[in-house]
Amino acid sequence: MTSVHILNGPNLNLLGTRRPEVYGTTTLAAVEDLCHEEAARLGLDVVFRQSNHEGRLIDWIHEAGARVKAGEVIGAVFNPGAYTHTSIALHDAIEGTELPVIEVHISNVHRREAFRHHSYISPVARGTIVGLGVDGYRLAIDALHRMSLA
């Protein structure tokens, strides 16, 4: 079965406890359940991962990109966390693999500190969803699915 990769960057393992006034009280495990439900509705499998290490995220992007070319993966929903604002390496990995990516942010980064307004990921993403809470993951899976059918 075709799958969608859900990649989560640093500190997202703290969802539900870290700054609930910004990120809500939903845990990463609950986000994973939400992603599995949405993917199943669309006939997709899910590979759900989180890492606090940039290199591991890059390896996963390379893996997903290769699997897209093999017709096994439709793309990735990617919440890069703080790496959004710092990682040229993640930008280059997405660009180099041509992995279809929907960038997701739980909070509206544009209403927050100025340093959060710039994304190195957005220029290589197919789309960006910000500020819609964890529902952004569901919307991103649906968007990738629709793009894969076009």
pLDDT at 22: 66
Domain count, the chain: 1
- For residue 55, give its domain range: 3-149
Residue 105 annotated among the catalytic residues of the structure: yes
Among candidates 51, 100, 55, which has minimal Cα distance to 76?
100
Residue-wise pLDDT for 110-130, tens only, equals: 887 787 778 999 999 999 999
Q: Is the pLDDT of residue 48 over 90?
A: yes
- Residue 114: the pLDDT is 81
The C-alpha atoms of residue 67 and residue 93 are separated, in whole angstroms, by 14
Question: Is 88 annotated for ligand binding?
Answer: no
Position 1 scores a pLDDT of 78
Q: Which amino acid is at 10?
A: P
Catalytic residue from among 5, 83, 91, 105:
105
* Mean pLDDT of the region 11-25: 82
Quote the pLDDT of residue 24. 65
Quote the pLDDT of residue 116: 75
Q: Binding site annotation covers 85?
A: yes
67: CATH:
3.40.50.9100
Placement of tokens 């940039």 in the chain: 54
Give residues with Cβ within 8 angstroms of 61, minimum separation 6. Answer: 7, 76, 78, 90, 93, 94, 97, 99
Active site residue 137: no
Q: Are 77 and 144 in contact (CB under 8 A)?
A: yes
